[in-house]
Amino acid sequence: MFPTPIQRRSPTAQFAYKSFLPLALFMWLLPLIAVAMFSIKPASDFTQGNYWGAPGSFEAFNNYGQVFFNSDMPRYMLNSFLITVPTVIGAVALSAMAGFALGIYRFRSNIWIFFMFVAGNFVPFQILMIPVRDLTLDMGLYNTKTGLVLFHIAFQTGFCTLFMRNFIRQLPFPLIEAARVEGVAEWRIFWYVVLPLMKPALAALAVLIFTFIWNDYFWAVVLTQGPESQPVTAGITSFNAQFRAAYHLMSAGSIVAALPPVLMFFLMQKHFIAGLTLGAVK
Amino acid sequence: MTTETEIQPRSWYKRNEIAVTPWLFLAPAILFFLVYVIFPIFQSIGISFYDWDGLGEARWVGLDNYVELADDSAFEVSLWNNLKWLVFYLLAIPAGLFIALFLNQTVTGIRIYKSLFFFPFVLSQVVVGLVFSWFYLPNEGLLSNMLSYIGLGPLNVLGDPTWATYGIIAAGLWPQTAYCMILYLTGLNAVDPEQVEAARLDGAKGWKMLWYVIIPQLKPATFIAFVVTIIGALRSFDLISIMTNGGPFGQTRVLSFYMFEKALSEYGFRMGYGAAIAVVLFLIMLVFIAYFLWSMWSEERGR
């Protein structure tokens, strides 16, 4: 193991390490801790210039109540869910099929189609902005959740296919050959043999895509406007315009907006990290 | 002999099943990807040769948009800022490695420490941008407060044309470092302990051990960290839009932000000009895409 395990060092070093850990963490998360503290302060603290001192009074219920009952926030959150969940399902379904095709079958254009997905996934997506916005307008889907979902599915399919294909390549191929010898139809092999083995990959991708799409801001701004279809990342800017300079409310709003992917991460940590680091080790 | 004649002539699909199935499975993904990703790249390149406001008739202007770019000082600023992003964003890789080495121990509660260190990556860039813009507030911000403790005057990071871009990049480094850290933590887990012990017996330790034994084994993690960091740097948009909206005096624009401004904001709907900026960004990225694909290609063949 590298670096040398701390247990092999002197007791002083061990003590120093263990006491430095929480301090380092505190410094690392300092900006976030500050915002969490903002969100429980009363408005009067900010007018009196008490930005970083102890809260004048505990106003968490008031502040978060305002966010939930006195703003468009719940609306934006719902929109985010209605955009994120269908995208996750769509992208995972499409890429599971494409990954199966590219991972199992040998045909001449296989590697080129694979590279098309990989390359498209690396593209700076600003180059897609004008044509995609036009296309969405032409289909009458501008400022709808559907328009946003369709684009997200398409774009995420690139990354997901890369992921799925590499995962399927690692499955034991003799299993599939055995099924073929038995005369099992190809689509049944996909459904009954390969798909059950892909469960870890499906879970990892679902968690990852959920976070990516929930946090998307650029496409939300390009393809939607107004509270009827904007997700929370874009909504938070109008929320902030509504409560200009009301730091206690703006920070409460930001925390609420950030919460679902954070919960997702802490509940599904193993899958999340497996998804992110696939390929980081051979 | 009789069995063979009894076999029913199989349908066309049955005979060609192995050849046809992959295409059936690929069809929806390819369709979506072509319509929303591949075709738009070429459409954008096409639009960049036109003068078009997005509604009326598009007028062919040849290379005029690109000629105009050459003289556009805002474009020049954006290009330089993109370069700064590329260079400084890469600091996330050594920083991530450093934190990973710091956390690669087995003491009680270390798993919670690891996930809390990773935490910033899960936040949306919008929230990161807001959090840091409050952190940077000129007088009330925590940064100015801390600076005044050590006797330095208040600093308005985001209001200062020279510092603003670095302030935004620092905000971006926060989640990106967390990402690189998790890649390296996974990589360190897979480092061969026997090699490490062998190197130790040979007297290698500290920096030498890190440089000659550990880092070579972390190569796959470094490659992925490099890929995601480069892509992140070139896509940077959210933080700029949230923290400064391109200001002060347009000094924090990058190409992706500038093209959005030209094509879709109050500065006018100049689709052709915006597309030309996007094409330049794409060409920069193409250099990296070619390198990434080449690396993956040589690895595929090595299998």
Per DSSP, the residues of B168-229 read HHHHHHHHHHHHHHHHHHHHHHTS-HHHHHHHHHTT--HHHHIIIIIHHHTHHHHHHHHHHH
Eight-state DSSP code of residue A105: -
* Rounded-to-integer distance, Cα B37 and Cα A160, Å: 14
Residues A57 and A177 in one domain: no
Terminal C-alpha separation, chain B: 43
Residues A37 and A74 in one domain: no
Over range A182-211, report the average pLDDT: 91
Residues B150 and B274 in one domain: no
CB-nearest to B127 from A101, A115, A257 is A257
Residues from chain A that touch B135, judged by Cβ atoms under 8 A, are: 31, 34
- Tell me whether A184 touches chain B (CB under 8 Å): no
Higher per-residue confidence, B301 vs A123: A123
Over range A133-151, report the average pLDDT: 93
- The residue length of chain B stands at 303
Residues A96 and A48 in one domain: no
Q: Which residues contact A216 (CB under 8 A, 6 or more apart)?
A: A152, A231, A233, B124
**Closest residue on chain A to B180 (Cα):** A277
| Interface A:B, Cβ pairs < 8 A | 286
Residues A63 and A83 in one domain: no
Residues spanned by the domain of B227: 73-253
Q: Are B272 and B65 in contact (CB under 8 A)?
A: yes
SS3 A231: coil
A281 — pLDDT class (breaks 50, 70, 90): low
Residues from chain A that touch B106, judged by Cβ atoms under 8 A, are: 5, 7
Tell me, what's the ipTM?
A: 0.89
CB-nearest to A98 from B25, B44, B293 is B25
* Rounded-to-integer distance, Cα B148 and Cα B29, Å: 56
Is residue B36 a part of any domain in this protein? no
List the CATH number of the domain containing A121.
1.10.3720.10
pLDDT above 70 (res A15): yes
Interchain proximity B238–A98, CB inside 8 Å: no
B267 — pLDDT class (breaks 50, 70, 90): low
Over range A56-78, report the average pLDDT: 88
Distance between B162 CA and the closest CA of chain A, angstroms? 23
Over range B34-42, report the average pLDDT: 95
* Rounded-to-integer distance, Cα B28 and Cα A160, Å: 14
List, in sequence order, every residue forming a beta bridge with B50; answer none if it has no partner.
B60
- Tell me whether A68 touches chain B (CB under 8 Å): no
pLDDT above 80 (res B228): yes
* The total number of structural domains that make up chain B: 2
Residues B54 and B79 in one domain: no
Q: How far is CA B13 from CA A90, A185, B2, B18, B20, in A?
A: 27, 11, 25, 9, 8
Residues B196 and B294 in one domain: no
**Closest residue on chain B to A248 (Cα):** B134
Residues A83 and A48 in one domain: no
Q: Which residues contact A260 (CB under 8 A, 6 or more apart)?
A: A77, A80, A81, A214
Tokens 């390149």 identify what position?
B45
Least Cα distance to B110 among A6, A80, A177, A205 occurs for A6
Residues B48 and B78 in one domain: no
CB-nearest to B21 from A17, A187, A280 is A187
Residues A38 and A79 in one domain: no
Q: What's the pLDDT score for residue B9?
A: 66
Is residue A282 a part of any domain in this protein? no
Residues A198 and A123 in one domain: yes
Residues B58 and B80 in one domain: no
Residues A167 and A232 in one domain: yes
Q: Are B234 and B283 in contact (CB under 8 A)?
A: no
* Rounded-to-integer distance, Cα B217 and Cα B221, Å: 9
Q: Find residues 130-159 of chain A whose CB sits inside 8 Å of chain B.
A: 130-135, 150-151, 153-155, 157-158
Least Cα distance to A238 among A251, A223, A225, A255 occurs for A225
Q: Are B116 and A226 in contact (CB under 8 A)?
A: no
Over range B83-96, report the average pLDDT: 96
Q: What's the pLDDT score for residue B97?
A: 95
Residues B118 and B136 in one domain: yes
* Rounded-to-integer distance, Cα A33 and Cα A30, Å: 5
Interchain proximity A2–B210, CB inside 8 Å: yes
pLDDT above 80 (res B268): no
* Rounded-to-integer distance, Cα A123 and Cα B42, Å: 12
Q: Are B125 and B242 in contact (CB under 8 A)?
A: yes
Distance between A123 CA and the closest CA of chain B, angstroms? 7
Residues B60 and B97 in one domain: no
Interchain proximity A35–B131, CB inside 8 Å: yes
Residues A160 and A210 in one domain: yes
Residues spanned by the domain of A23: 6-68
Q: What's the pLDDT score for residue A282?
A: 44
With 0-12 CB in 10 A as exposed, 13-18 as middle and 19+ as buried, what is A63?
A: buried
Q: Find residues 189-208 of chain A whose CB sits inside 8 Å of chain B.
A: 190
Q: What is the pLDDT of residues B236-265, one digit of tens each?
A: 899 999 999 888 888 999 999 999 998 887
CB atoms < 10 A from the CB of A153, how many?
27
Higher per-residue confidence, B212 vs B303: B212
With 0-12 CB in 10 A as exposed, 13-18 as middle and 19+ as buried, what is B2?
A: exposed
Q: Find residues 19-58 of chain A whose CB sits inside 8 Å of chain B.
A: 21, 24-25, 28-32, 34-35, 38, 49, 51-52
- Tell me whether A118 touches chain B (CB under 8 Å): yes
Residues B208 and B279 in one domain: no
Is residue B208 a part of any domain in this protein? yes
Residues B149 and B217 in one domain: yes
Is residue A53 a part of any domain in this protein? yes
CB-nearest to A217 from B124, B188, B259 is B124
Residues A80 and A11 in one domain: no
Q: Encode burial over B48-62: b for 16+ CB neighbours within 10 A, e otherwise.
A: bbbbbebeeebeebe
Tokens 């936040």 identify what position?
B123
Residues A23 and A142 in one domain: no
Q: How far is CA A56 from the centre of its chain?
A: 36
Residues from chain A that touch B188, judged by Cβ atoms under 8 A, are: 2
Residues B211 and B246 in one domain: yes
Is residue A246 a part of any domain in this protein? yes
CB-nearest to B289 from A17, A111, A122 is A122
Over range B185-203, report the average pLDDT: 87
Q: What is the pLDDT of residues A89-116, one digit of tens each?
A: 999 999 999 999 999 998 889 999 999 9
Q: How far is CA A259 from the centre of its chain?
A: 12
Q: In the structure encoding, which two tokens stand for residue A8, read together?
A: 């092999």
B6 — pLDDT class (breaks 50, 70, 90): low
Q: What's the pLDDT score for residue B88?
A: 96
Is residue B246 a part of any domain in this protein? yes
Q: What's the pLDDT score for residue B1?
A: 45
Is residue B264 a part of any domain in this protein? no
Angle made by CA atoms A248, A252, A257, in degrees to the nearest 5: 150
List the CATH number of the domain containing B190.
1.10.3720.10
Per-residue H/E/C for A160-184: HHHHHHHHHHCCCHHHHHHHHHCCC
Interchain proximity B183–A276, CB inside 8 Å: yes
* Rounded-to-integer distance, Cα B164 and Cα B245, Å: 11
Residues B163 and B56 in one domain: no
Residues A259 and A248 in one domain: yes
Residues from chain A that touch B44, judged by Cβ atoms under 8 A, are: 127-131
* The total number of structural domains that make up chain A: 2
Q: How far is CA A224 from CA A24, B116, B291, in A?
A: 41, 33, 35
Q: In the structure encoding, which two tokens stand for residue A207, read together?
A: 């968690």
Residues B196 and B66 in one domain: no
Interchain proximity A2–B213, CB inside 8 Å: yes
Interchain proximity A236–B126, CB inside 8 Å: yes
Least Cα distance to B113 among A15, A276, A25 occurs for A25
